[in-house]
């Protein structure tokens, strides 16, 4: 009888231990790395101690809330397979040209350890996922409507997108810092223009294309004009060089022809009278008569 009673007590202890271990296992929660947690008690309210990454026991009527201290990406997109909700969740932005265009928006944020209690007091006992889909999204819509009125839709889709993203980051930092959420960066992503905006985009692209084509045609005309001028100048210089060469050649040929004619008429005799430079020669009547007689005789012989 004593042995049976002892075994029963031991069995009861084992069962109670297993129940306790199962209960502890069931009520154990984890604060993962890069996060921090707080426990909310239904009777005592929020506990003030901050729980670092580790396993923690959560008692009856208590709940553990975990907040990311590492960077998180809150994604609001039209892609139904991405983002915080598995549905079209893009942000509609109204610009200063009265265009309503949906943009994908990404917000990089985190919760600093010293701000965990502030976040809980601001948003209450809801998980961070609900804070992203509800409160951060509402702040994003408010920020983009402030920033969007500074630009037209073409600016947000083009060169001014980076500038608008920086302005949106500053607006979100102002809105969410007092609620304990630190925004590091907000970015405008892909856009989804309405048919009216798409028509405007097509018209602007066509006009820019035509303008570029007209500029290219003007440049081609200038090039052709410059080419024609260069060709005309080259032809003029060529004609001048040809004329000078022909003229020089003609004078030289005339000289050669005159020399050839003189050689043909020369009888092979040197002149009887030769003068040096600067010397004056006086020819008498007898010498002149003799020269004339010799010339007349040569002409008769010819």
Q: Model-level pTM? A: 0.59
Give the per-residue pLDDT at 1.
53
72-193: which CATH topology? Tetrahydropterin Synthase; Chain A (3.30.479)
pLDDT at 293: 57
Q: Is the pLDDT of residue 225 over 60?
A: yes
Q: Determine the pLDDT at residue 112.
A: 93
For residue 249, the model assigns a pLDDT of 54
Burial class (CB in 10 A: 0-12, 13-18, 19+), 74: buried
- Asked if residue 107 has pLDDT above 80, the reply is yes
44-48, 62-66, 104-108: which range is least confident on average? 44-48
pLDDT of residue 232: 80
**6 neighbors 29 (Cβ within 8 angstroms):** no
More reliable by pLDDT, 103 or 59: 103
pLDDT tens digits for range 239-261? 776 666 555 556 666 667 667 66
Position with higher pLDDT, 87 vs 60: 60
Residues 6+ apart with CB under 8 A from 87: 80
Which range has the worst mean pLDDT, 24-33, 164-173, 196-205, 208-217? 196-205
Ranges assigned E (strand) in the chain = 28-30, 35-41, 45-46, 55-57, 62-68, 72-76, 91-94, 100-110, 182-192
Buried (b) or exposed (e) across 17-27, using 16+ Cβ within 10 A?
eeeeeeeeeee
Other CB atoms closer than 10 Å to residue 297's CB: what's the count?
10
69's CB contacts (< 8 A; 6+ apart) are 34, 35, 36, 110, 111, 112, 113
- Quick one: what percent of the chain has pLDDT higher than 90? 23
Reading the block at residue 207, the tokens are: 């006009």
Question: Which pLDDT belongs to residue 263?
Answer: 64
Domain locations in the chain as residue ranges: 2-67, 72-193, 207-243
Distance CA 238, CA 232 (A): 10
Q: Which residue has the higher pLDDT, 286 or 155?
A: 155
């Amino acid at each position: 009888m004593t042995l049976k009673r002892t075994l029963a007590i031991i069995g009861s202890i084992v069962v109670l231990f297993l129940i306790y271990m199962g209960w502890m296992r069931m009520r154990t929660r984890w604060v993962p790395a890069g996060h921090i947690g707080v426990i909310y008690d239904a009777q005592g309210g929020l506990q003030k101690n901050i729980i670092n990454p580790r396993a923690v026991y959560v008692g009856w009527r208590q709940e553990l809330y975990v907040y990311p201290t590492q960077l998180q990406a809150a994604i609001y997109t039209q892609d139904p397979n991405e983002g915080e909700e598995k549905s079209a969740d893009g942000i509609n932005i109204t610009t200063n040209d009265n265009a309503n265009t949906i943009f994908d928006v990404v917000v990089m944020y985190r919760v600093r350890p010293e701000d965990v209690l502030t976040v809980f007091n601001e948003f209450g006992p809801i998980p961070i996922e609900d804070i992203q889909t509800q409160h951060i999204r509402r702040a994003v819509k408010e920020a983009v409507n402030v920033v969007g009125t500074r630009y037209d839709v073409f600016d947000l889709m083009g060169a001014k997108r980076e500038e608008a993203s920086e302005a949106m980051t500053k607006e979100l930092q102002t809105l969410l810092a007092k609620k304990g959420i630190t925004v590091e960066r907000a970015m405008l992503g892909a856009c989804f223009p309405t048919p009216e905006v798409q028509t405007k985009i097509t018209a602007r692209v066509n006009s820019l294309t035509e303008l570029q084509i007209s500029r290219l045609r003007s440049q081609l005309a200038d090039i052709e004009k410059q080419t024609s001028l260069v060709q005309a100048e080259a032809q003029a210089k060529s004609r001048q060089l040809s004329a000078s060469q022909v003229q020089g050649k003609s004078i030289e040929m005339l000289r050669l022809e005159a020399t050839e004619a003189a050689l043909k008429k020369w009888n092979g005799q040197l002149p009887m009278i030769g003068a040096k430079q600067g010397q004056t020669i006086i020819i008498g009547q007898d010498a002149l008569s003799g020269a004339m007689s010799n010339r007349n005789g040569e002409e008769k012989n010819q």
